[in-house]
Structure 1
Amino acid sequence: MKTRLIISDYLDYYKDAQPITILKHFNKLKETVLSTHSFGYHISKSSVYSSMIEGNPIDFDSFLKYSTSGMNTKSKSFQEIKDLINAYHFASTHTLIKKNILSAHSILSENLISEDRYRGNIRDNDVYIFAGGKKVYKGASKEIVIDEMNLFYKDLSILIEREMTMNEIFYYAAFIHLVFVKIHPFADGNGRMARLLEKWFLVQKLGKKAWFIESEKLYQNRLRSYYTKMAIGPSYEKTNYDLSLPFLLLLPMSLTAR
Structure 2
Amino acid sequence: MQLTIIPTTLLQSYLLEVPKGLQEAFDALHDAPLSTPNFSFYTSVASVFSSKIEGENIELDSYIKHKRDGLPFLPDYTKKIDDLYQTYEFAQQRPLNKENVVEAHKLLGKHLVATAWQGRYRIQNMYVSTEDGRIEYVAAPPAQVPTEMASFFSDLETLQNTPMAIEEVFFYASLVHLVFVKIHPWNDGNGRTARLLEKWFLAQKLGEKAWFMQSEKMYYQQHSVYYQNLRRLGLEYNELDYGKALPFLLMLPQAVR
Which residue matches 2:121? 122
What letter corresponds to residue 148 of structure 1 in structure 2? Answer: E
The answer to which of 142-151 and 40-49 deviates more is 40-49
What letter corresponds to residue 142 of structure 1 in structure 2? Answer: P
Q: Distance in 2 between matches of 1:3 and 1:164?
A: 15
Q: Does 1:139 align with 2:139?
A: yes
Which residue matches 2:44? 44
Q: Distance in 2 between matches of 1:73 and 1:153?
A: 38
Which residue matches 1:235? 236
Q: Distance in 2 between matches of 1:35 and 1:58?
A: 22
Q: Distance in 1 between matches of 2:157 and 2:74?
A: 38
SS at the partner of 1:4? coil
Q: Distance in 2 between matches of 1:122 and 1:59?
A: 31
Task: Give how far 1:69 is off.
Answer: 5.3
SS at the partner of 2:128? strand
- What aligned pairs does 1:135-174 form with structure 2 within 5 A after superposition? 135-174=135-174
The answer to which of 37-46 and 56-65 deviates more is 37-46
The answer to which of 99-108 and 128-137 deviates more is 128-137
1:182-235 CA-partner distances (Å, limit 9, x unpaired):
000000000000000000000000111110011001000111001101112102
Q: Distance in 1 between matches of 2:96 and 2:226?
A: 24
- What aligned pairs does 1:12-27 form with structure 2 within 5 A after superposition? 12-27=12-27
- What aligned pairs does 1:48-127 form with structure 2 within 5 A after superposition? 48-67=48-67, 68=69, 70-75=71-76, 77-113=77-113, 115-127=114-126
**Please, what TM-score do these two structures have when normalized by structure 2?**
0.93
Which residue matches 1:253? 254
- What aligned pairs does 1:156-195 form with structure 2 within 5 A after superposition? 156-195=156-195
Task: Give how far 1:34 is off.
Answer: 5.2
Q: Distance in 1 between matches of 2:236 and 2:78?
A: 32
Task: Give how far 1:239 is off.
Answer: 1.1
**For the Cα contact (< 8 Å) 1:20–1:253, is it kept in 2?**
no
Change in Cα spacing, 1:203 to 1:3, as seen in structure 2 (3 Å) is closer
Task: Give how far 1:150 is off.
Answer: 0.2
Task: Give how far 1:36 is off.
Answer: 5.9
What letter corresponds to residue 116 of structure 2 in structure 1? Answer: R
Q: Distance in 1 between matches of 2:20 and 2:180?
A: 25
Which residue matches 2:223? 223
The answer to which of 243-252 and 60-69 deviates more is 60-69
Task: Give how far 1:45 is off.
Answer: 1.2
SS at the partner of 1:229? helix
Q: Distance in 2 between matches of 1:122 and 1:23?
A: 37
**Please, what TM-score do these two structures have when normalized by structure 1?**
0.93
What letter corresponds to residue 99 of structure 1 in structure 2? Answer: E
**For the Cα contact (< 8 Å) 1:173–1:201, is it kept in 2?**
yes
What letter corresponds to residue 15 of structure 2 in structure 1? Answer: K
SS at the partner of 2:142? coil
Q: Distance in 2 between matches of 1:20 and 1:222?
A: 22
SS at the partner of 1:152? helix
**For the Cα contact (< 8 Å) 1:63–1:78, is it kept in 2?**
yes
In structure 1, the gaps of 5 or more residues are none
Q: Distance in 2 between matches of 1:213 and 1:27?
A: 11
**For the Cα contact (< 8 Å) 1:20–1:252, is it kept in 2?**
no
